[in-house]
Amino acid sequence: MPSLLLVVFVLQLLIHLVNTVGAPVINEFLWTLYNKLPTSTSAEIKSQSMLAREVLRLKRELNATSAQDQFAKWAKLDREHNRVQAKYDEKGKKPPFLWIVATFSLYMVK
């Protein structure tokens, strides 16, 4: 059984680490680490981040295309962007259950 001195030292070390680095940084690191594990939420997060990248890519391409000079290409990109944006918005409406629990517990700690 560990001595009381060792337990207090480890606890103080953890508190100092959280105060130095910051709770949001540690929380983001742990969330990223958790999403790397093969769980159902990691697949959802991965698909949502892929949709976000696709939305940004299409938006950049849409902004780089002239609506007057290349209307057919612009219209095609606009339809595709709207379709992918709708998928992204639909996935973003319902957060995963674990995210809700993690957010609630974070507010309870504060």
**pLDDT tens per residue, range 24-67:** 888 888 888 887 887 777 777 788 889 999 999 999 999 999 98
Is 52 part of any domain? yes
Give how far the C-alpha of residue 49 lies from the chain's centroid of Cα atoms, to the nearest Å: 7
Tally of structural domains, the chain = 1
Is 101 part of any domain? yes
Is 7 part of any domain? no
The pTM score is 0.54
- Give the pLDDT confidence score for residue 17 in this predicted structure: 86
- Give the tokens for residue 95: 């957060």
Residue range of the domain that includes 37: 20-109
Cα torsion angle, 94, 99, 100, 103, sign: negative
* Look-up of token digits 């809700």: 100
